[in-house]
Amino acid sequence: MTKNKIITIFSHLLVWLVLFSMPYLLSYGQTQEINRLIAHFWIPLVFSAIIFYLNYFILIDKFLFPKKMVQFIIINAVIIIGFLFLKEYIEDTYFTDLIKKRSDETNNGRPLFKMFVYIQILSYMAPLLFSIAIKSTKRWVKTEAERKEAINIKLKSELQHLHYQLQPHFFFNSLNNIYAMVDISPDEAKKSIHSLSKLMRYMLYETNEELVSLSKEIDFMKKYIDLMKLRVSDKTKVNYNFPSEETGIKIAPLLFISLIENAFKHGVSASKPSTIDIQMTYHEKTVLFTIENDNFPKKTEDKSGSGIGIPNIEKRLELLYPTKNAFKTFVKNDRFVAQLEIETN
């Protein structure tokens, strides 16, 4: 049973508890004769039920929510007044003893009739107000659920867009690397194409899930690093240290690959020695990824890559781990450092 249904049932039970209690409370201290119970309890209760469900199922949706307030008030006023006259007619026809007794009380100087009419009007207003309150609450809950669903769909759409944005960016860089090796080392180029096919399989089939195991992501990163190492000279050293055992942690896919791409793009020089250090550790459900590289920023006219890596990861972190991530980049001792910490639970 859904939460909304539980709220609806509870609300209806509350309404009928109040409606059943009200006639007893209003006639407290009086003799509970059968005619009095029928006239002052069952008949008003039936009328109250009609008012409640007539408004709940028809009038509120048709007049109140579309803001046809005047029509809504007039219709309910006519219904309530009609029930007052109908109740008087039933009492005059079938409960003459009660009418005679009430007339005697009025003639003795206690104007109970007017008070009785006021009480009846208030008793008929109660189911009307209850129906408005319940219907409005139900509508608010539905609207809030639809709003959250719309936000959820929007977030999924944005994440899907970022995911699709990352894939061609990744393939573009990888193919550029392989293209550069074709003339220099055809055998290495063939090996790279084979490695790239494995990476593509992972990206196309494994990363469609919201979460993947950290061990699979680590295996993907190792293969990508090995692929990237083929295009750099011996002057570039790449060191990495990943957890070797199964962690049991699940994480959003492809969060770290942009940082690795960034390191190979900005941390490698064709003429100078360079080092890329990659470290991943975890404690309980928290993963810390750190990557350091020499700082060789690309010139403005250099169009290699599209520059979407860091903005992409920042946006994905904002959507996936809005309060459970710590991401920072800085330059220390002429080395660019990127640190990403994620709480996965």
Going by pLDDT thresholds of 50, 70 and 90, the confidence category of residue 110 is very low
Which among 289, 283, 282, 277 is positioned nearest to 243, based on CA atoms? 282
Q: Write down the pLDDT at residue 103.
A: 52
Contact criterion met (CB below 8 Å) for 129 and 64: no
The yes-or-no verdict on residue 307 having pLDDT over 80 is no
Q: Write down the pLDDT at residue 37.
A: 57
Q: What is the C-alpha to C-alpha distance for residues 109 and 103, in angstroms, rounded to an integer?
A: 10
Going by pLDDT thresholds of 50, 70 and 90, the confidence category of residue 112 is low
Query: What percentage of the chain exceeds 70 in pLDDT?
Result: 75
Which among 202, 155, 151, 153 is positioned nearest to 174, based on CA atoms? 202
SS3 250: strand
Phi and psi at residue 12, in whole multiples of 5°? -65, -40
Best mean pLDDT range from 10-14, 91-95, 139-143: 139-143
**Kind of pairing, strands 236-241 and 274-283?**
parallel
Mean pLDDT for the stretch of residues 149-157? 68
The yes-or-no verdict on residue 165 having pLDDT over 70 is no
Per-residue model confidence as pLDDT tens digits over 185-222:
788 778 888 888 888 788 777 777 888 999 999 998 99
**Kind of pairing, strands 236-241 and 212-213?**
unpaired
Q: Write down the pLDDT at residue 122.
A: 81
The yes-or-no verdict on residue 113 having pLDDT over 80 is no
Per-residue model confidence as pLDDT tens digits over 232-267:
888 899 999 999 888 889 998 888 988 998 898 888
* All domains of the chain in start order, with CATH: 3-147 (no CATH), 183-343 (3.30.565.10)
Q: Write down the pLDDT at residue 306.
A: 46
Best mean pLDDT range from 83-97, 99-113, 217-231, 302-316: 217-231
Mean pLDDT for the stretch of residues 149-158? 68
Distances (CA, A) of 59 to 5, 77, 90, 122, 229: 21, 12, 26, 19, 72
Q: Which of 9-18, 195-204, 213-222, 293-302 has the lowest mean pLDDT?
A: 293-302
